[in-house]
Chain A
């Protein structure tokens, strides 16, 4: 047991909008706080009173199961009240603007707004119009900070470190907010990042951030300590990006045969939902390298940490 925990930097942000704007120390502060919250999830009574009386609103303008459920459960474990707002059945269909909707929700006493929106920058815009804390739960292809944080936490918990590891992000990088947040987080924590996929899905321009870009998975895989498999986003327009699913699977699908040629302790992550038989085979998804379910558990701890940290900044707008 750690008798004398190292002092961490105090958290000073009211919102969590992305990992690009966070320092290495701030990211570590979230991960360390999440480690503390992990213990709460192992109890019989999985609840602490820290956010009693606070109200957390989920504003999701895009489909989501995992993230929304995870935020709701995280808020409940902190004793906050939670409410889901469903865009499809709301007054938005009657012409109310997004900002008016958010202001109305705030008037109901919301302390934290968890926002997912197809337009990049929406959470940032919202911070200029509401007093509540705003957490970005995915804005277009821009950022999805809590997903990247839970990926980082999973790597750190299973590997003991992040610095010095080589992490491959495989698949649809161009459309992926998960990839973008991961790149910022991994590089700040000292990992080497390789982006791999067909040229149409992996923009070379991302090399500017400090990543390596490759189109050959068989070359890249043996170098990786961790592989994060990003979903092909069929709901976005993919007509022209690769010839066929079969060809994509042949070149970039994670199969048992491919994984055998990787490092023996390869850690396999996937943000989900996964397309079995497209990005990876069921035997790999359910196999010994897979940390997919650890990611879900760690996601709860990360979201508890983020809700807790931003809630401490009521009067300090930023």
Chain B
């Protein structure tokens, strides 16, 4: 598999992308509806945290952040050679009637997001779910589109796009 590790974003680039994503999320907020963030495990969670921090800085309002583990909702569980380790969904707030921003690092086939939406809908009935991803690399297999994207990248199907975040990987960067 080709893995040339071309840098797409450095730490500053990740910062700028998140700041501009936060601006666009804020511009389309629903007045009077509670805004909450839900990150898709693993790397969606720190990204959701960072977006919430930026928005709190701008609006002064605390934004609850949760984590969704999509494992139990995957459509390829039966095909996996070994079942993935479960880390659990932690959404310690009510999403009924909330304005939910679902956050993930890379949007590819859209299957992860389908699983995450199903998972959220089993927890309640949000007023709205928007999708924010740091990278959109195309090749969707389901009719799912992001509301807010940090970086659009043209890729071939077999290329790898890797997001590394300092909370997990010790460094902020996006590589292809």
Contact = CB atoms under 8 A, between A and B. Distances in A.
A33 interface: yes
A186 to B, nearest CB: 24
A43 interface: yes
A36 interface: yes
Contacts, number: 74
Contacts of B119: 48
Contacts of B69: 36
Interface stretch (A2-10, A200-208, A231-239, A241-249): A2-10
Contacts of A49: 72-73, 118
B80 A35 contact: no
Interface stretch (B54-62, B83-91, B151-159): B83-91
B141 interface: no
A39 B90 contact: yes
Interface string B116-136: 001100111000000000000
Interface string A301-312: 000000011011
Contacts of A35: 88
A45 interface: yes
B123 to A, nearest CB: 6
Given A1-B67, A49-B73, A33 B122 contact: no
A205 B172 CA distance: 58
Interface in B31-86: 41-42, 45-46, 49, 65-67, 69, 71-73, 77, 80, 82-83, 85-86
Contact of A3 (B46, B66, B123): B46
B168 interface: yes
B82 A312 contact: yes
8 contacts: A5-B41, A5-B42, A5-B88, A45-B123, A47-B122, A48-B119, A308-B86, A313-B83
Interface of A, secondary structure class, is: loop
A222 to B, nearest CB: 37
B5 interface: no
A207 to B, nearest CB: 37
A69 interface: no
Interface string B76-111: 010010110111111010000000000000000000
Contact of B45 (A3, A47, A308): A3
B10 interface: no
B65 A312 contact: no
Contacts of B90: 1-2, 39
A50 B77 contact: yes
A3 B122 contact: no
Given A36-B69, A43-B122, A48-B122, A3 B86 contact: no
B85 A45 contact: no
Interface of A: 1-5, 7-8, 10-12, 29, 32-33, 35-37, 39-40, 43-45, 47-50, 78, 308-309, 311-313
B140 to A, nearest CB: 22
Contact of B88 (A11, A39, A45): A39
Nearest to A36: B88
B52 to A, nearest CB: 12
Contacts of A33: 85-86
| Closest 5 A/B residue pairs (Cβ) | A312-B83, A36-B88, A48-B72, A50-B72, A5-B87
Nearest to B122: A45
A1 B65 contact: yes
A39 B91 CA distance: 9
Contacts of A5: 41-42, 87-88
Interface string B160-173: 00000001100000
B83 A309 contact: yes
A148 to B, nearest CB: 21
A11 B80 CA distance: 13
Contacts of A311: 83
